Amino acid sequence: MRRVPVPAPRLAASLALFAAAPAAQAAAPVQATLATHWAGYVAVLWFAIAYLFVVAEEFTGLRKSQPVMLAAGAIWAVLAFASSRMGVPEAAHEAVRDYLLEYGELLLFLLAAMTYVNAMSERGLFEALRARLLRRGLGYRALFWTTGALAFCLSPLIDNLTTALVMCAVVLAVGREDTKFVALACINIVVAANAGGAFSPFGDITTLMVWQAGKVPFAAFFALFLPSLANWLVPALCMHAAVPRGAPPASDEVVRLKRGAGVIVALFAITVVLAVGFHQFLHLPPFLGMMTGLALLKLYGWHLARVATAQQKDDFAREGAPGDVDAFDSYEQVARAEWDTLLFFFGVIMCVGALGYCGYLAMLSTSFYGGLGATNANILVGLMSAILDNIPMMVAVLQMAPAMDTGQWLLVTFTAGVGGSLLSIGSAAGVALMGQAHGRYTFFSHLKWSWAVALGYAAGIGVHLLVNARYFTGT
C-alpha cells in the first residue's frame, strides 16, 4: 500500500529532485486559487459522484475501477485547463507525473505479490489446506476458532482478501446447511483477516502504503500484533456462545499438491526477504526486491516447463500419449492478477492527488488533525473507513502528511486496517464474502454483531496506547 501534500513521494524526490522544486513553487499559488475556483469545485463533485458508483458496485455491477479511472482523467483535464489559464501550464503535468511514479511503485509491488499468491493457488496449496481441515472432523465451534485463527495468521503473509476467501470456502464446505454458523464464521473470518493484516506490511494495502512511504520502519509494524489480537479476540469471544453446537460430517477428500508447490512457497519467502532487505539495507524501494523475486518465480516456471516438456515426450514414447505433468506458466499467473483492484488504486491515487493539488487536503489536515488532535483524528479515520473504504482514507492521510510520531502512524495504520470490519461493506474481505456466501452472510447479519466488533476496535486502540507508549514522542 505514501503521500505528501503537494506530490513529492520519496521515489519521485530521488528521481526528479531538480524538476520537483520548480513544480512545487509553481503549484503553491495554484493551490491557493483552485480551492475556491470553479475547477476545484468540479473536481470535488466528480470524485464524489465516482465514489458513489464505487460504493454501489454490489448493486450496479459496475466494476469499481471504472468510475474512478474516468473521474481521474476528467478531473486532471479540468485542472490542467485551469492551471494553464492561470499562467502555470506545467504545474498539473508535474503533479501528475509525480503521482504516476507513486502509483507505479505500488503497482509493481502488488503485481509481484498477487502473482505469487496466484501461483500458490494454482499449485493447489489453498485447496490442500481446505481439504485437510475437512478431514479433521471438527465441530462447529472448533471450526469457528480454527478458521478465525488461520485467517489471523495467514493474512499477514498472503493478504487479508485471499485469506478470507480460502477460509470461507472451508466454512461453506462443512456448514453449507447451517446458515447461522456460516454467518457467524464469516464475520469472525472478516474481523480476523483484517486484524491479522494490520500488523504486517504485506497484510493489507494500507500497511504497505505506510511502509513504502517511510512513515513506519518494517519491524515497528509488529508492535501492532497485540492490538490486532485484541481486535479479533474480543468479538470472537462475544460470538462464541451463539455458534451452534454439534459437528458437520467429516470428509475424506485428499488434494494432491502439484509439482513445485513447496519451491514456490520458498521463493515467496525469499522474495519477502529481498523486499525488506532492499528497503532496510540498500535504501531502495521495496518494489525492486519484489520484482527481483518475481524474476526468480519466472525462472523456476521456465524450469518447470522444460521438465514438463521432457516428461511429456517420454510418456508419449512409452505409452503413446502425454501424461499429466503439471506444467506451469508464470505469465498466466500474472494475467490472473486482480486488475480491477490495481486499476482502482490508480484512479484513487490520481483523484485524491487532484484534491491535494487543489489544496483541499492541506485545508482538511489543518481542521482535522489540528482541530481534533492526532489521536482523535486517527480513531475517526478508522470509523470512516467502514463506510468510505480504508484505501482512499489512507491515501488522503498520507497526502495530508500530518506531523505525527511513529505511535500515531501505527495508530492510523491499525484503525484504517481494522475499522472496515465494523460493517460488511467496509472492507474488501467483507464484500467478497457476501458474494461467496450469498444469502447466508449478509450486511444485516454482520450489522447484528457490529457492537461486538466495535468493542474489539476500542480494545485494540486501548492496547496500542498502553503497550506501545514508547512509540509516542508527542509530535
CA distances from 308 to 211, 302, 323 (A): 40, 10, 9
Element (H, E) at 148: helix 140-158
> 400: helix, coil or strand?
helix
**Burial profile 122-154: b = 16 or more Cβ within 10 angstroms, e = fewer:** bbbbbbbbbbebbeeebbbbebbbbbbbbbbeb
Whether 380 contacts 358, CB under 8 Å: no
Place of cell 473536481: 43
**Burial profile 375-406: b = 16 or more Cβ within 10 angstroms, e = fewer:** bebbbbbbbbbbebbbbbbbbbbbbbbbebeb
10-residue mean pLDDT profile of the chain (475 residues): values are 36 31 46 79 91 77 86 93 86 86 84 84 82 79 91 85 81 78 92 92 83 87 95 96 82 81 91 86 87 92 76 48 55 77 84 84 78 88 81 80 89 92 81 76 88 96 94 78
Whether 168 contacts 186, CB under 8 Å: yes
Place of cell 485524491: 352
CA distances from 222 to 339, 381, 422 (A): 29, 21, 23
At 266 the pLDDT is: 93
> 28 is written with which cell numbers?
503553491
At 323 the pLDDT is: 40
What gap in Å lies between CA 185 and CA 109, rounded to an integer? 31
pTM: 0.74
At 21 the pLDDT is: 35
> 272: helix, coil or strand?
helix
At 7 the pLDDT is: 36
> 105 is written with which cell numbers?
511503485
Whether 423 contacts 447, CB under 8 Å: yes
At 411 the pLDDT is: 94
Helix axes 160-175, 140-158, angle to 10 degrees: 160
Rg of the Cα atoms in the chain: 23
Whether 328 contacts 260, CB under 8 Å: yes
What gap in Å lies between CA 92 and CA 289, rounded to an integer? 31
